[in-house]
Structure 1
Amino acid sequence: MGKLSSAGDQAPVAGAPGDTDLALAQAGDDAAFTRLVAPLQAELHAHCYRMLGSAHDADDALQDALVRAWRGLPRFEGRSSLRGWLYTVATRTCLDVIAARGRRALPVDLGPSSERSVPGDTPRNDIAWLGPYPDGGLPAGPAGPGARYEQREAVELAFVAALQHLPGNQRAALLLFEVLGFTVAEIAAMMDTSVTSVNSALARARRIVAEKVPARSQQQTLRKIGDARVRRLVDGYAAALESGDADALVALLTEDVTWSMPPLPHWYRGLAAVTDFAVAQPLSTCGEWRHRAVTANGQPAVACYLRPFDTDGPYEAWSICVLTLRDDHVAEITSFLGPEHFLLLDLPTALP
C-alpha cells in the first residue's frame, strides 16, 4: 500500500470531536475505529461502486479497504483529514481490483442491437456485468465544494457505464476530482503520482465521459418532469406488463428506446424492435407479473416478480428494471435479471 498519510482535506483541529476515538483506534481499540469510520461508510461504498460497477464488488472492496485502514491507522500522522486518508485506501484497493479483473459491461457494449426478438437467449456468465446500485442512503447534493456532480448523478447508469470505459487511473482521478471535490494536488498524493499525470488523466477521462453521458442528467430530468409524472410513468410501465398491453407500453417509450437485460447478451433499439421483443416475450409468453416501484442508481425502477402461467405458486423475483427517462417518456429500460439484485435493494425474493 505504501504510505497513506499524505492526501485529503485539512488536518483535523486539535480537540475536535473524534480526536479521542482516533487516539484510541490508533492504540488498537476496534470499537473506536468503528465509530470513526461509520459516518463515512455509505459514501465510501458508493465510491467503490463507481470505481467497480458492482455493488457486490463494492462490498468486498470496502471491507478490504477497512481492514487495510485498520492495520495502517497507527501510521496515520494527521497531515490530512481521516476522510481523505480513507479515500486513499479505498481508491488504491479498487485500483487493485480493476487491475486483476478488468471492467464491467452492459449488453450495448458487446455488439449491435437485435432487430427482432431472440427466443431462448441464454445468459453470458463469462462476462463481468455492470450491476444496479441501492442508492437510498446517498445525499442529493455534492460531496464537497469542488465537486461537479451530485452524489446521485454519479451513480446514474449512464455515468457508471461510461466510467467502465476508462483505465483505472483515469476513473479514479475523475471521481476524486469531479465527484468528491479533492484537488489535483491531493489526488496526486493519493495516487502516488504527479500533478501533471493527474491533469492528463482528467483531460482524457472527461473527453470519454462527455461522449457517452447525456448532457442532461437523470436528476435534472426528474426534477423537470416532477414526481407526479414520474410515478405515472412507473405505474404505467408496471400496469402494461401486468395486463400484457403492448399499446400502453409503447405509449410510454421514446422512438429510439433501448431495452437490455444483463446477463442476456442481446438488446433492442427503437420502437419496432422493442415492441417485437415485448410482445413475443414479457407481454405474452413469460407468465404472470407483479411489480413494486423502487429506485436504483438515482433513477426510478420497477422490481418485477414472475409466476409461470397455470401455477399457484408465489411470484418469484425476476428483474430490477431501471428506467432512464427523457422529457416525459422512457428512453432506456435496463432489466437486471436475478434475485441477488432484490437482496441488494432489501426486497423480498418472492410475493404470494
Structure 2
Amino acid sequence: MGEVLPVISATEAGDADLVARARAGDGEAFTRLVEPLRRELHAHCYRMLGSTHDADDALQDALLRAWRGLAGFEGRSSLRSWLYAVSTRTCLDAVASRGRRALPMDLGPASGHAVLDNPPAPDVAWLGPYPDDEPAGRCARRESVELAFVAALQHLPGNQRAALLLFEVLGFAAAEIAAMMGTSTTSVNSALARARRVVAERVPEPGGQRAVRLLGDARVRQVVADYATALERGDADLLVALLTEDVTWSMPPMRHWYRGIGAVTDFAVRVPLTSCPPWRHLPTSANGLPAVACYLWDEGAGAHLAWSIDVLTLRRDGRIAAITSFVDAGHFPAFGLPASLP
C-alpha cells in the first residue's frame, strides 16, 4: 500500500484551532483531536486483523502515519473519515504481510471424543478475544466484534473485509470508501456483494449478542455463575444442563475442538472437570458476549494463575451454544484482569 494519504476538512473536525495547531506541529493538539476516536479506531483494526495485539500495533502505526501526513491535507473530508482511511490502509498492509487469523474449526473437523494430547499449535495465527470496556452502542455495533462475525471476516480478502466493515458497520457510502481505498465505486460495490455472500454463509443465524439482550442481565449473570460453579466443583451434571445439544467447545491455540453434547461432555469430564487442579473464576465480557476469566491452581506459585478467557455464546433459551476458551495468560492484561488470584 502507498503512503499517499486522503485529505481532511478543518470545518468538520469540530475544533479548527486544534486542527491548525496540529498541522503546525503541535503534538498535544493532535493527541486531543484523535483521542475521542481512538477506541472506535482500535475496534476497527481488531475487526480487520482479528487480534488485539495486532490492532494495537496497527493503530499506533496508523496514528504515526496520520501525524506525519497531517500538514498536507487539502480539506475535502472529515477528520474521522480521514483517520479511518489511514487506519484501513494500515490494516490492509498488515493483512497482506501476515495473512488471516483462525479458530480451531477453520483448520479441521471436530474430534468425537476427548483428546488428551492436545498441545498448542504455535505455527497458526490464532484469532484472539476483544475486551468490552465501552457501554453498549459505542464503537459502532457491538455485534461487529462478535467472534462469529470477526472469524467470518478472516475468510475475506483484505479489500472485501475493509469494504464490508466501512459500509455495513461504520456507515460510509460506497463513494467515500472508494476514495479511502483508492479504487472505484464499482469495485467497492462488487467487493461488498462478494463479502456479504461469504459472511452470510458462515454466520447464518443471528448472533449471540441478540440472545444476550433478550435474556437480560440477571439471566446472563446466572448462566455465567453456573458455568463457573460447574468447573470449580467438577459438577458435570450442572455443566451439561447449561449446554445445547449442538454445543461446540474450542480452545485456541489448541487444534482439537468438539461439537455436540456427547463429545463436549466427554472432553469436560476427562479434562477440565477432573484432570485439572482446582479452578477459580472471575466474570468478564469479550466480543460483546459474556465471558469467564479462568484461573488454574499452581502449587509452586501458591496461587491460582491466569489460564484462559472463556467466551460464551448463548441461545435465546439461555443455554450455551459455544464455548471458546482462549488459553493464554497474555490475553488478561487487555481485560484489566489480574495475573493471579490468591
Normalised by the length of structure 1, the TM-score is 0.94
**Counterparts of residues 1-352 of structure 1 (less than 5 Å):** 1-6=2-7, 11-13=9-11, 17-137=14-134, 139-140=136-137, 143=140, 150=141, 152-308=142-298, 313-327=302-316, 328-352=318-342
Instruction: Compute the displacement of 1:13 (Å).
Output: 2.9
Shift of 1:276: 0.3
Give 1:142 deviation, angstroms.
7.4
Q: Which amino acid in the other structure matches residue 305 of structure 2?
A: E
Contact 1:218 1:299 in 2 (8 A): yes
Please list the CA deviations of residues 182-238 of structure 1 after superposition, one character each: whole Å capped at 9, or x if unmatched: 000000000000111000000000001011114312221111111111111100000
SS in 2 for 1:13: helix
- Are the aligned partners of 1:6 and 1:189 in contact in 2 as well (CA < 8 Å)? no
Structure 1 residues 116-160: Cα deviation after superposition (integer angstroms, max 9, x where no partner): 1111211000000000001212641674xxxxxx2x100000000
Aligned-residue offset at 1:51: 0.1
Conserved? CA contact 1:42–1:138, under 8 Å: no
Counterpart residue type for residue 23 of structure 2? Q
Can you list the C-alpha shifts for 1:34-56, whole angstroms capped at 9, x where unaligned?
A: 00100000000000000000000
Identical aligned residues as a percent: 66
Check whether the contact 2:43–2:139 (CA below 8 A) recurs between aligned residues.
Answer: no
Alpha carbons of structure 1 residues 221 and 107: separation in structure 2 relative to 1, 3 Å: same
- Which residue identity is paired with 1:278? A
CA distance in 2, matches of 1:158, 1:26: 41
Question: What is the alpha-carbon distance in structure 2 between the residues aligned to residue 139 and residue 285 of structure 1?
Answer: 38
Task: Give yes or no for contact 1:5–1:78 (8 Å, CA) kept in 2.
Answer: no
Runs of 4+ in 1 over 2 A off after TM superposition: 1-7, 11-14
Q: Deviations over 1:67-96 (max 9, x none)?
A: 000000011122100100000000000000
Q: Which structure 2 segments of 5+ residues have no match? A: none
Deviation string 1:230-277 (CA, Å, 9 cap, x unpaired) is 111100000000000000000000000000000000000001000000
Q: TM-score, normalised by structure 2?
A: 0.96
Is the CA contact 2:39–2:139 (under 8 Å) kept in the aligned structure 1?
no
Contact 1:43 1:138 in 2 (8 A): no
Compute the displacement of 1:5 (Å): 2.6
Instruction: Report the AA paired with residue 291 of structure 2.
Output: A
User: What is the alpha-carbon distance in structure 1 between the residues aligned to residue 16 and residue 48 of structure 2?
Assistant: 30
Q: Deviation at 1:12?
A: 4.7
Letter of the 1:13 counterpart? T
Q: How many residues align?
A: 340
Q: CA deviation at 1:302?
A: 0.2
- CA RMSD for the aligned pairs? 1.5
C-alpha distance in 2, partners of 1:171/1:250?
37
Separation in structure 2 between the aligned mates of residue 201 and residue 260 of structure 1, nearest angstrom: 31
Unpaired stretches in structure 1, ≥5 consecutive residues: 144-149
Show the counterpart of 1:146.
none
